[in-house]
Amino acid sequence: MKVVLLIVEAVQSSCVTNVRLTLQTLKEITLIKANLWMFVLLIGLSANANAAGLASAKVSQSNSESTITVEGVVEAVKASQIAAQVTGSITVMSVKAGDHVKAGQLLTRIDARMANQQAISNQAQTSAAQAQLDAASKEYERKRHLFEKQYISQAALERAESDYKTAAAQSKAQLAQAGISNVQSGLHSINAPYAGVVAEVLVDVGDMALPGQVLIKMYDAHALQVVVNVPQSQVAQLKKQANIKVMIGAASLPETTLTTTQFTVLPTADPMSNMVKLRLILPPNLSTITPGMFARAMLPVNAIEGKSQLYIPSKAVIKRSELLAVYVIDAQGHPQLRQVRLGRVQGDNVEVFAGLQLGELVALDPMAAANFK
């Protein structure tokens, strides 16, 4: 501001000493002086605004029940990958992705001509084996009567009995083989195992199906869950039978925010991330939520006894690569940059592990604090 005043004085002095200035030149100098004073006024207003102070918040403390925010995805409680069990060409595909199907409804059919012919052949062999069994049974009965009258020997009776038992065994084997053929014929028609939604169709008519190859993916849309990862250190602090808030931004109102009390903690942890999976059961019959959607859950936890927690607003934190810092406002109202170590995020706040003390003021706008003079 002093520099600007010196410039104004220099201009005034120049105007006085230079007596040969024209009228037009005097008008231009007057305009310059007016603009310079306007600039001085703006500087003064800016200084007064800075002197008013920065928007700030105190470092707060909590030693009561709190929540942790975790992220995950929506999954179906019941989901299936329907695969072929026989080899053959796809002849019928009666569904497409997104279709709602009933339990037992035909999904696809595989060419069953060879299987049907094999079933007919086995049925004929079964009939032949049954006829041989009937003949062997009658022959054995005749030989038994003749043996009782001592018309034949013991050896002849034993041969007849052996032929009868052999025919009976062959008949059972053929019946079993015919049953296998009938089952294989039925495997060429693939039906829905339950009522649900077709998620994906992986083959078209004319494609070759192989045993174990996935043909269709489907799921039960009436039962959904959210799977999230929770740090091992927080699992023991989870509050039982508490209302868990689940937010799914991609869903339509009123299903964007749901509440559940049912969750299951899986008994194993990931050794790489030290996370434990948690399954949150969602309310039934949701219409706008599908598997794969991003979800965020707020899990109620109990604070560790005897340990207070410090929190600051998340927007006060500056992130530069690996550096986390905030602007702390001192007693004179000047912001000072200070590095901090942070913990979990809780709503709009973040937990502070180190770097701040209870009651200190932090600037809510780091950019304004950096430009504060």
Q: What is the pLDDT along the chain (373 residues), one digit of tens a residue?
A: 443 443 444 444 443 344 343 445 445 545 444 444 444 333 333 333 343 467 888 888 765 557 788 899 999 999 999 999 999 999 999 999 999 999 999 999 999 888 888 888 888 999 999 999 999 999 999 988 998 888 888 998 899 999 999 999 999 998 998 888 888 888 999 999 999 999 999 999 999 999 999 999 999 999 999 999 998 888 888 888 889 999 999 998 888 999 999 999 999 999 988 899 999 999 998 989 999 999 999 888 876 555 567 889 989 999 887 789 999 988 888 888 999 988 777 778 888 888 888 889 999 988 888 887 6
Judge if 197 and 311 occupy the same domain: no
Q: The domain that contains 351 carries what CATH number? A: 2.40.420.20
Range(s) of the domain holding residue 359: 56-63+307-370
Q: What is the pLDDT at residue 3?
A: 39
Q: The domain that contains 98 carries what CATH number? A: 2.40.50.100
Judge if 170 and 195 occupy the same domain: no
Q: The domain that contains 271 carries what CATH number? A: 2.40.30.170
Judge if 227 and 276 occupy the same domain: yes
Judge if 236 and 183 occupy the same domain: no
Judge if 169 and 135 occupy the same domain: yes
The token pair that represents 172 in the structure block:
């059972």
- CA distances (Å), 137 to each of 9, 112, 175, 176, 361, in order? 137, 37, 18, 20, 103
Judge if 249 and 265 occupy the same domain: yes
Domains identified in the chain, total number:
5
Q: What is the pLDDT at residue 13?
A: 47
Asked if 77 and 283 touch (Cβ cutoff 8 Å), the reply is: no
Residue finishing a domain among 268, 301, 334: 301
Q: The domain that contains 158 carries what CATH number? A: 1.10.287
Judge if 281 and 350 occupy the same domain: no
Q: What is the pLDDT at residue 186?
A: 87
Q: What is the pLDDT at residue 332?
A: 84
Q: What is the pLDDT at residue 373?
A: 67
Letter string b/e over residues 115-141, b meaning 16 or more CB atoms within 10 A of that residue's CB: beebbeebbebbeebbebbeebeebbe
Judge if 93 and 143 occupy the same domain: no
The sign of the dihedral angle between the CA atoms of 295, 301, 304, 308 is positive
Judge if 274 and 161 occupy the same domain: no
Judge if 224 and 297 occupy the same domain: yes
Q: What is the pLDDT at residue 304?
A: 58
Report the 10 Å Cβ neighbour count for 1: 10
Judge if 275 and 311 occupy the same domain: no
Q: What are phi and psi of 49, to 5 degrees?
A: -65, -40
Residue finishing a domain among 136, 169, 187: 187
Judge if 161 and 147 occupy the same domain: yes
Helices 113-148 and 154-186, packing angle to 10 deg:
160
